[in-house]
Amino acid sequence: MHLLLPGRRVDRLNARELLHSAQPPWRRDSGPHRPQGKTVVDFVIQYEAFIDGRYRPVVRYDGSHGTPHRDTLDWDDETIKKDWDLEATTHNDAVTEAIDDIQANWERYLDGFLRRRP
């Protein structure tokens, strides 16, 4: 699922794993101490900028390997920085934190990415 962000370049959020998880991997929590609603058990959300004719991942929030973390990426899609210091303790909160962070800092991430152009 690519959420398009029209501007001149039409950047996008790629939330593929979140949507893949929207059917079986969604789990209905139960019990007196469980939160209400659905639980995300897997997700990847990444902000991709359309540069030089293709989408390039700039920053990626990844919950698919256990602890949710943020990867800052270079132009070859290689991780140059991995941040494990998310405040979120659950995947649900990590998804919320990811979109809040991208919403607040997308220009800074894009600017940094462009400055790393090889």
Minimum distance between the CB of residue 3 and other proteins, rounded to whole angstroms? 4
Minimum distance between the CB of residue 10 and other proteins, rounded to whole angstroms? 6
In this structure, what is the dihedral angle of CA atoms 85, 69, 101, 112, given to the nearest 10 degrees? 100
Residue 13 or 73 having the CB closest to other proteins:
13
Is 44 near other proteins (CB under 8 A)?
Answer: no
Minimum distance between the CB of residue 81 and other proteins, rounded to whole angstroms? 19
Q: What are 45's strand-pairing partners? A: 61
| Stretch of residues binding other proteins (CB under 8 A), selected from 59-67, 70-78, 80-88, 105-113 | 105-113
* Residue-wise burial string across 64-87, b where 16 or more C-beta atoms lie within 10 A, e elsewhere: eeeebbbbbbbbeeeeeeeeeebe
Look at residues 99, 46, 44 and name the one whose alpha carbon lies nearest to residue 72.
46
Which of residues 44, 45, 59, 94 is near other proteins by CB under 8 A?
A: 45
